[in-house]
Chains A and B, each alone.
Chain A
Amino acid sequence: MSPYMLIILIFTLGLGTLITLSSSHWLIAWMGLELNTFAILPLMAQQHSPRAMEATIKYFIIQTTAATMLLFASVSNAWLSGQWEIQQMSHPTPLALITIALALKLGLAPMHAWFPEVLQGLNFSTGLILSTWQKLAPFSLLLQIPPTSSFLLITLGFISVLMGGWGGLNQTQLRKILGYSSIAHLGWMILIMQYAPPLTLLALTVYIVLTSSMFLTFLYNQATNINSLAISWTKTPMLTALTPLVLLSLGGLPPLTGFLPKWAILQELTKQGLTPVAALTALSALLSLYFYLRLSYATALTTPPNNLPATLPWRIIFKQPTTFLAVLITMSLSLLPLSPSVMAFFTF
Chain B
Amino acid sequence: MKYLLFLLLFLLILGVVGVASNPSPGFAALSLVMVAGSGCSLLAGQGGYFLALILFLIYLGGMLVVFAYSVAFTGSDYVEGWGTRRISLAAAGYLLLVWGGGVILSTNLNEEFWTVGASFGEFMSLEYSLVGVAHLYMGGGWLLVAGAWALLLVLLTVLELVRGASRGAVRVV
Against A, the Cβ 8 Å flags (1 = close, 0 = not) of B64-93 are 000000000000000000000000000000
B97 an interface residue at 8 Å Cβ cutoff? Answer: no
Given contacts A31-B146, A48-B166, contact A42 B171 (CB under 8 A): no
A12 an interface residue at 8 Å Cβ cutoff? Answer: yes
- Does B171 lie within 8 Å of A48, measured CB to CB? yes
| Chain B contact residues: helix, strand, loop or mixed | helix
B150 an interface residue at 8 Å Cβ cutoff? Answer: yes
- Does A41 lie within 8 Å of B168, measured CB to CB? no
- Does A41 lie within 8 Å of B156, measured CB to CB? no
What is the number of residues of chain B that contact chain A, defined by CB distance less than 8 Å? Answer: 16
Residues of A close to B149: CB separation below 8 A: 12, 15, 35
Closest chain-B Cβ to A165's Cβ sits at a distance in Å of 34
Q: For residues 1 through 20 of chain A, which have their beta carbon under 8 Å from a beta carbon of chain B? A: 1, 5, 8-9, 12, 15, 19
Give the docked Cα–Cα distance between A52 and B161 (Å). Answer: 12
- Does B156 lie within 8 Å of A5, measured CB to CB? yes
Give the docked Cα–Cα distance between A17 and B106 (Å). Answer: 47
Instruction: Choose among A31, A41, A52 the residue that contacts B147 (Cβ–Cβ < 8 A).
Output: A31
- Does B171 lie within 8 Å of A35, measured CB to CB? no
Give the docked Cα–Cα distance between A12 and B168 (Å). Answer: 20
| Chain A contact residues: helix, strand, loop or mixed | helix
A38 an interface residue at 8 Å Cβ cutoff? Answer: yes
B124 an interface residue at 8 Å Cβ cutoff? Answer: no
- Does B153 lie within 8 Å of A12, measured CB to CB? yes
Give the docked Cα–Cα distance between A56 and B162 (Å). Answer: 13
A45 an interface residue at 8 Å Cβ cutoff? Answer: yes
Closest chain-B Cβ to A86's Cβ sits at a distance in Å of 16
Residues of A close to B146: CB separation below 8 A: 15, 19, 31
Contacts A8-B156, A9-B153 known; list 18 others, CB within 8 Å: A8-B153, A9-B156, A9-B157, A12-B153, A28-B143, A31-B150, A34-B150, A38-B157, A41-B157, A42-B160, A42-B161, A45-B161, A45-B168, A48-B168, A48-B169, A48-B171, A53-B169, A56-B161
Q: 6 closest A-B pairs (Cβ-Cβ)?
A: A42-B160, A53-B169, A38-B157, A45-B169, A12-B153, A41-B157
Instruction: List 14 interface pairs A-B (beta carbons < 8 Å), by A numbering.
Output: A5-B156, A9-B157, A15-B149, A19-B146, A35-B149, A38-B154, A38-B157, A39-B153, A39-B157, A42-B156, A42-B161, A52-B169, A53-B169, A56-B169
